Amino acid sequence: MFFLSLGVPTKLRDVPGVEDLDEEVMERMAKRVRVVHEDGSIGWVRRLNIKDIVEIFKLAM
């Protein structure tokens, strides 16, 4: 409720121009995430790969 009261988008689809992201675009976005491990994954508690990041984008829609 706090972010909504500020008018800040809480879902990706609420961001102007992002309403209709398809999986291909999400995958390109995921590939731009900064890589921190030699195997191309990110994260410390749980390493995330491209597919994980795309799933997060889908959930954020």
Single-letter amino acid code for the residue at 4: L
Number of domains in the chain: 1
pLDDT (tens digit, 9 = 90+) per residue, 21-57?
889 999 998 888 877 788 877 887 888 888 999 999 9
**How many other C-beta atoms lie within 10 A of the C-beta of residue 9?**
13
Q: Are 30 and 22 in contact (CB under 8 A)?
A: no
Q: pLDDT confidence of 2, banded at 50, 70, 90?
A: very high
Three-class DSSP category at 10 = coil
**Domain interval for residue 20:** 2-60
Structure tokens at 53: 């990041």
